[in-house]
């Protein structure tokens, strides 16, 4: 049986060759605990710190401000619930109720600060007008927690404008950059943000590794789990050093991955033209990443279309992988188009990346998709 054509890169990118090779090279040597003082432990520790330097360099950050986690979800939890200003505590938290559950559910669990929820906006994804009003009303200091790139529609948040608003209001800006990483250049020194989350498996690294960067001159981090002193006590537990090595290798190749985005955009344009020609309606804000295409196909139930393509050997998604099978409609599309509920009920996500995709596979996928679309 031929390999399926994978068009679900926002759920997870296939393991890149550079990450696979780096992990294979050290796999038999990274089982030792990096906290141990013997030579094998020191070797694992050296590999871990080399990975930290590579991840830090990929976003222009000092290694000391990178905290490794088990993935983007844990890093988002730690960002929302563990970071506090050096001057005291946050008085309020501002977030999107339809953000990735790693952020939205963390905000829901907040028991101390007052939480303010922002509405969606088809133009900017987050309503900038509502944000201005909320920043003026929310008790200070406030933590504003937003995605840079939405995981379902690929909508790009106007981060520069929002960063200026947060700075002028004296608020701290926390960014879930898991879907932006490897798709847009990131330089934390040039960003008006104070914390940022990354995930290895979104950029061709292995699952099970992520990172939280935070501006240590402004913020302190309080661990939310308890155990040993790993990651300076912020995130106790023995890490998977092999996964961190793969994460570091993928991070070191991040410029090459970003350089592939024009080709990815070309592929996306071909799928977009086909789907809109067959009655699809595109969802998302005015600016979208080249890696994601969210379209409502009104002639199809979401799960039926995904299943039909799966039988043809094409892998797509009806939404975020963490929520698949749990909801009958896309909560993000519903928030962007509250007066058009059918868009959320029929929304499908295609997402693209450089791993395991080429022009031949794109042509094959387009042919298979058109065959299925003609059945409606």
Quick one: which of 9, 10, 13, 8 has its CA closest to 201? Answer: 13
* pLDDT value at residue 251: 98
In 85-127, alpha helices (H): 101-108
Element holding 175 (H helix, E strand): strand 172-176
- CA–CA distances in Å: residue 33 to residues 38, 230, 245, 292: 10, 11, 14, 39
As assigned by CATH, the class of the 17-256 domain is alpha beta
Q: Give residue limits of the domains in the chain.
A: 5-14+258-373, 17-256
Spans of the chain below 70 pLDDT: 1, 111-112, 226-229, 233, 319-327
pLDDT per residue over 328-370, tens digit each? Answer: 789 999 999 999 999 999 999 999 999 999 999 999 999 999 9
Active site (annotated) includes residue 322? yes
* pLDDT value at residue 227: 66
CB atoms within 10 A of CB 298: 12
Angle (CA) 128 133 138, round 5°: 120
**Using only C-alpha atoms, what is the Rg of the chain?**
21
Q: What pTM, to 2 d.p., does this model score?
A: 0.93
pLDDT per residue over 22-51, tens digit each? Answer: 999 998 888 877 877 898 888 889 999 999
* pLDDT value at residue 173: 98
Name the catalytic one among 76, 121, 315, 322. Answer: 322
Whether the Cβ atoms of residue 311 and residue 300 lie closer than 8 Å to each other: no
CATH code, 5-14+258-373: 3.90.1150.10
């Amino acid at each position: 049986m031929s390999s399926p054509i994978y068009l679900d890169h926002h759920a997870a990118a296939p393991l890149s060759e550079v990450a696979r090779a780096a992990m294979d090279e050290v796999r038999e040597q990274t089982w030792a605990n990096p906290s141990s003082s013997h030579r094998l432990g020191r070797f694992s520790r050296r590999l871990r710190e080399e990975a930290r330097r590579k991840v830090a360099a990929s976003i222009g950050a000092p290694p000391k401000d990178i905290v490794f986690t088990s993935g983007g979800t844990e890093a988002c939890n730690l960002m929302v619930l563990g970071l506090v200003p050096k001057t005291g505590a946050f008085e309020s938290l501002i977030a999107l109720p339809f953000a990735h559950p790693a952020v939205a559910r963390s905000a829901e669990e907040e028991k101390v600060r007052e939480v303010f929820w922002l509405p969606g906006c088809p133009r900017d994804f987050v309503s900038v007008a509502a944000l201005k009003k909320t920043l003026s009303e929310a008790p200070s200091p406030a933590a504003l927690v937003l995605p840079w790139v939405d995981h379902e529609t690929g909508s790009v948040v106007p981060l520069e404008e929002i960063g200026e608003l947060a700075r002028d209001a004296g608020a701290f800006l926390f960014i879930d950059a898991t879907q932006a990483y490897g798709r847009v250049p990131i330089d934390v020194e040039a960003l008006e943000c104070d914390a940022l989350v990354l995930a290895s498996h979104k950029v061709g690294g292995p699952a099970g590794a992520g990172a939280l960067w935070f501006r240590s001159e402004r913020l302190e981090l309080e661990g939310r789990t308890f155990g040993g002193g790993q990651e300076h006590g912020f995130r106790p537990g023995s890490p998977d050093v092999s996964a961190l090595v793969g994460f570091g290798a993928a991070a070191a190749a991040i410029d090459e991955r970003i350089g592939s985005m024009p080709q990815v955009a070309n592929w996306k344009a071909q799928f977009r033209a086909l789907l809109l020609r067959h009655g699809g309606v595109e969802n998302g804000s005015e600016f979208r990443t080249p890696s994601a295409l969210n379209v409502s196909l009104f002639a199809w139930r979401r799960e039926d279309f995904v299943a039909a393509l799966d039988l043809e050997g094409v892998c797509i998604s009806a939404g975020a992988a963490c929520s698949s099978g749990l909801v009958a409609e896309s909560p993000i599309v519903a928030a962007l188009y509250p007066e058009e509920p059918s868009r959320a009920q029929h929304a499908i996500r295609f997402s693209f990346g450089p791993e395991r995709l080429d022009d031949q596979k794109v042509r094959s996928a387009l042919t298979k998709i058109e065959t299925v679309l003609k059945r409606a």
